[in-house]
């Protein structure tokens, strides 16, 4: 290794790098801060949103990344790291006036038909590995079957298993995400930076939620996305700096999309936060407990986790 290469490597190790250099602009959507008390008052009133959860793929990842195995509950249960089956979800939100949105993005069509041309390829695809993905539907194929055009994308966070479908999102469709998702620095970002560069090629600047502190002091920040108390974006940092959950009033009751604030059914139901996949474990635990406590207080909420299906029994715990 040359001296110059060694210096560059040491600089990378010392400071880390951003996950993406794609431009970011403040979101104008979701400009209304929302107190938790307002959510509680209106939560059970039906609205015209519908939520469809699509299992784009099955995958297997280490349990230690999904669940904090050092937590007393995990130790008492005798949990040890193993390969854990997960699902790669995205969620379709439909409203007669606001349009069709997806929360997270599923899997790119090229991942199945031309993996050497997919955004998720190369060394990182071998390490994770991409060939362990059992894809059920690609984002492109799913979008082609919809009777209405895609209005926007809400990312819970900028990790590969939530952003793999971005190349299938039509150019010009706005993409929203939480603060700090592209600017957070870590050494690991060096391995995914090229993936996100390819995934975001041709897309407009990412639109960053402008969270302000929850006036009721409960959540880190909440915005009323459309200003009509029908859909809220909730800042829940820790897994990543901008991790965002979404709470939707539908015609069948409220739905909470946790993203990776909680990955697994076991973790959610036993009160154990995510493990090593989270960048700030203290903040991750706090966001998890706050969001879970809210759901327990409102048993009518249909909780949809990041990568597994929870059970209705949680309401009785």
Count of domains forming the chain: 1
Q: Does 11 reside within a domain?
A: no
Q: Does 188 reside within a domain?
A: yes
Owning domain of residue 226? 25-316
Q: Which band of pLDDT confidence, cut at 50, 70 and 90, is reported for residue 15?
A: very low
Give the model's pLDDT for residue 9. 31
Q: Does 1 reside within a domain?
A: no
Give the model's pLDDT for residue 208. 97
DSSP string, the chain: --HHHHHHHHHHHHH-EES----EEE-SSS-EE--HHHHHHHTTS--SBEEEEEEEEEEEEEHHHHS-TTSHHHHHTT----EEEEEEEEEEEEETTTEEEEES----THHHH-GGGSSS-THHHHHTTGGG-EES--HHHHHHT-SS-EEEEE-S---HHHHTTGGGSPTT--EEE-TTTTT-EETTHHHHHHHHHHHTTT--PEEEP-----TTSSSSEEEETTSSSSEEEEE-TTSSTT-EEEEEEEBTEEEEEEETTS--HHHHHHT----TT-S-HHHHHHHHHHHHHHHHH-TT-EEEESSS---GGGGG-
What CATH number should be reported for the domain holding residue 286?
A: 3.60.15.10
Whether 298 has a pLDDT exceeding 70, the answer reads yes
Give the model's pLDDT for residue 316. 33
Q: Does 208 reside within a domain?
A: yes
The better pLDDT of the pair 211, 313 is held by: 211
Q: Does 13 reside within a domain?
A: no
The better pLDDT of the pair 137, 11 is held by: 137
Give me the mean pLDDT over the 189-201 stretch.
85
Whether 7 has a pLDDT exceeding 60, the answer reads no
Q: Does 2 reside within a domain?
A: no
Please state which of the ranges 12-21, 121-130, 183-192, 305-314 shows the lowest mean pLDDT: 12-21
| Residues 22-49: tens digit of each pLDDT | 999 999 999 888 888 889 999 999 999 9
Q: Does 169 reside within a domain?
A: yes
| Residues 44-79: tens digit of each pLDDT | 999 999 999 999 999 999 999 999 999 999 999 999
With a pLDDT cut of 70, the percent of the chain lying above it is 90
């Amino acid at each position: 290794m040359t001296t110059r290469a060694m210096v560059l490597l040491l600089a990378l190790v010392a400071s880390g790098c951003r996950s993406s250099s794609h431009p970011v602009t403040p979101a104008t959507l979701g400009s209304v801060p929302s107190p938790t008390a307002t959510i509680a008052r209106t939560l059970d009133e039906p609205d015209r949103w519908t939520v469809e959860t699509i299992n784009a793929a099955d995958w297997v990842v280490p349990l230690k990344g999904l669940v904090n195995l050092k937590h007393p509950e995990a130790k008492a249960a005798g949990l040890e790291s193993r390969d854990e089956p997960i699902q790669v979800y995205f969620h379709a939100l439909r409203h007669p006036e606001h349009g069709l949105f997806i929360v997270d993005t599923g899997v790119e069509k090229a991942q199945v038909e031309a993996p050497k041309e997919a955004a998720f390829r190369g060394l990182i695809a071998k390490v994770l590995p991409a060939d362990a993905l059992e894809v059920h539907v690609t984002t492109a194929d799913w979008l082609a079957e919809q009777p209405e055009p895609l209005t926007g994308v809400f990312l819970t966070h900028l990790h590969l298993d939530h952003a793999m479908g971005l190349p299938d999102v039509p150019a010009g469709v706005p993409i929203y995400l939480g603060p700090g998702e592209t600017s957070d620095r870590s050494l690991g970002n060096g391995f995914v930076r090229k993936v996100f560069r390819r995934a975001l090629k041709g897309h407009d600047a990412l639109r960053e939620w402008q969270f302000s502190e929850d006036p009721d002091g409960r959540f880190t920040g909440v915005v009323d996305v459309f200003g009509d108390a029908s859909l809220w974006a909730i800042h829940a940092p820790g897994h990543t700096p901008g991790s965002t959950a979404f709470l939707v009033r539908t015609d069948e009751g409220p739905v909470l999309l946790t993203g990776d604030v909680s990955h697994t059914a076991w973790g959610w139901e036993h009160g154990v936060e995510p493990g090593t996949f989270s960048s700030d474990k203290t903040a991750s635990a706090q966001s998890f407990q706050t969001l879970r406590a809210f759901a327990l207080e409102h048993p009518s909420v249909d909780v949809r986790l990041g990568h597994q299906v929870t059970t209705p029994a949680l309401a009785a715990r």
